[in-house]
Amino acid sequence: MVATINIASRLNVRNRFAHWMTLFTLVTSAQAQMVPLPLWELGVFAGTATTPAYPGSSDRATRSLAVPIFVYRGEVLRVERGDVGARLFSSDSVELDLGFSASLPASSDDLTARRGMSDLGTLVEFGPRVKLTLARPTPGTRVRLELPVRAVLEFNNGVRQQGYAFEPELGIEVRDAGAGWTLSATASLVFGDKDLNNYFYGVSAPFATVVRPAFDAKAGLITTRLGLSTSKGLSPDVRAFGFVRYEWLEGAANKASTLFQQTAGTSIGLGLLWTVGRSEQRALGP
């Protein structure tokens, strides 16, 4: 979860804006088919996606966006794959980085279950992530495991810490550089501590009603995610991509909250990336 400033951390537990980072991750991941890559790239990202407003919400958010994108692949400083951070250690099979990410605010008046409650503010998440390459069955295939731990800060009339999140993710990537396409499948578990779960599912006494009783959330599983994404190079400078993500919340720790409205949700997104400039200098590593 690290910023474009990863519109939601690598974790992005608030789905309302997490789809933007999912789309951006697809685009920049797809660019990693050829090595060595340019040190920097500048482009324009345009996409649209629909997703649940937050895990367990019955409300949906559909958004379209066009923004400039900058990618920088320094030996330490990295701005790519939805991330802004520092790569502290890298080898063929292990990488450790430290990154930041941000997610946009959401008005509770737009969410049926939260109406009358405090708005969800801008979230900034930061912390370390370990990335392990478990296997390379073929030259174009990689099996990976990512283990990010993030502290979550909310900016909303001040700054407050809203807990910690942990999202172990197992994925397989298949790339065909000759044909210009890539396919990725992932499975992850999103966990939050008591504070973070209360941020999404807790109902304090001032906001309790007859249909929304007070609720004190507990630490535990937020959601299970299964994702499938693909991309295709249409030209040296233009790439099309799409993704579908399914969230299963049957085992979530806070299903008893009235803010938890459904046990499944699907997100879908499509987009294009147009690279308008790139450096002649190559990055030292992928």
CATH number at residue 268: 2.40.160.40
Q: Has residue 285 been placed in a domain?
A: no
The predicted structure's pLDDT at residue 240: 95
The pLDDT confidence band at residue 121, using thresholds 50, 70 and 90, is: confident
Residue 146: which domain range? 15-278
Would you say 26 and 101 are in contact if contact means Cβ atoms under 8 Å apart? Answer: no
Q: Has residue 2 been placed in a domain?
A: no
Q: Has residue 1 been placed in a domain?
A: no
Q: Has residue 284 been placed in a domain?
A: no
In which residue are the tokens 């629909």 written? Answer: 50
Per residue in 84-119, pLDDT (tens digit) is 677 788 888 999 988 777 776 778 888 889 999 988
Q: Has residue 99 been placed in a domain?
A: yes
Whether pLDDT at 185 is above 70: yes
Distance CA 118, CA 83 (A): 29
Distance CA 1, CA 116 (A): 30
Q: Has residue 10 been placed in a domain?
A: no
The predicted structure's pLDDT at residue 122: 82
Q: Based on the structure, what is the number of domains in the chain? A: 1
The predicted structure's pLDDT at residue 83: 58
Give the closest residue to 276 by CA, choosing from 46, 64, 80, 68: 68
Distance CA 185, CA 172 (A): 5
Q: Has residue 3 been placed in a domain?
A: no
CA torsion angle 259 260 261 264 (round to 10)? 150
The predicted structure's pLDDT at residue 104: 66
Q: Has residue 174 been placed in a domain?
A: yes
The predicted structure's pLDDT at residue 254: 97
Distance CA 142, CA 186 (A): 12
- Strand partners of residue 46: 66, 272
Per residue in 135-181, pLDDT (tens digit) is 999 988 999 999 999 999 998 878 889 999 999 999 999 988 677 89
Provide, rounded to the nearest whole percent, the portion of the chain with pLDDT above 90: 52
Distance CA 173, CA 171 (A): 7
Whether pLDDT at 54 is above 90: no
The pLDDT confidence band at residue 35, using thresholds 50, 70 and 90, is: low
In which residue are the tokens 């992850």 written? Answer: 188
Asked if omega into 105 is within 30° of 0 (cis), the reply is no
pTM recorded for the entire structure: 0.81
Would you say 258 and 279 are in contact if contact means Cβ atoms under 8 Å apart? Answer: no
Buried b (16+ CB within 10 A) or exposed e, 201-221: bbbeeebeeeebeebebebeb
Would you say 161 and 126 are in contact if contact means Cβ atoms under 8 Å apart? Answer: no
Strand, coil or helix: 137:
coil
Distance CA 237, CA 234 (A): 8
Buried b (16+ CB within 10 A) or exposed e, 5-38: ebbbbbbbbbbbbbbbbbbbbbbbbbbebeeebb
